Amino acid sequence: MRIVLARSNLDPSPGSISGYMARFSEEEYARSGHAELVGRATADPSVPGGYLGSLRIADPIAVHRSARSLIAPRSPTFREVLYDLRIPRTFLFAERNAADPDLRELPVHGVQVRIIPGAGHDMMANSASEFAATVAAALE
């Protein structure tokens, strides 16, 4: 058994998008916040098409609950759970996120770090073959 994580939130904290979503109540987000976010993402050429497509067809309540879950306090944190696992662990980072402090911290706790070459935040879409090859190698 092994675990491979990609773009995972190990600690509860609001990212720019999840923080935006979580500012709304569930009802407000479903009523107007989701459409507003889709509109903002549509107007932003830096938003990956795959993410935008997923956002357009996603259930607003599920999206909101997911965002709230990412920032909710929890004990143990996902980081603590990851560190306590006694199986091979690999964490995937996009090359454009190379400044992330976890690149140095995770290996100290026995977690292998792999970089997806040429990838940005949407590494599965913008570097699909490299992503697949890296996941396959981590699972060998």
The predicted-structure confidence for 50-90, as pLDDT tens digits, reads as follows: 778 888 999 999 999 999 988 889 999 999 999 999 999 99
Q: Which of 55, 71, 87 is the last residue of a domain?
A: 71
Domain that holds residue 130: 3-11+75-139
State the pLDDT at residue 103. 85
Question: Are 118 and 64 in the same domain?
Answer: no
**Domain boundary at 36, 52, 71, which?**
71
Q: How far apart, in whole angstroms, are the C-alpha atoms of residue 95 and residue 115?
A: 6
Which residues 6+ apart lie within 8 Å of 34 measured at CB?
58, 60, 63, 64
**Number of domains present in the structure of the chain:** 2
Q: Do 92 and 66 share a structural domain? A: no
Q: What is the pLDDT of residues 107-135, one digit of tens each?
A: 999 999 999 988 877 788 778 899 999 99
Q: What size, in residues, is the chain? A: 140
Identify whether the C-beta of residue 47 lies closer than 8 Å to the C-beta of residue 124.
no
* Confidence band of 17 (pLDDT split at 50, 70, 90): confident
pTM for the full model?
A: 0.79
- Report the distance separating Cα 115 and Cα 122, nearest Å: 13
Residues 97 and 114 in one domain: yes
Same domain? For 80 and 60 the reply is no
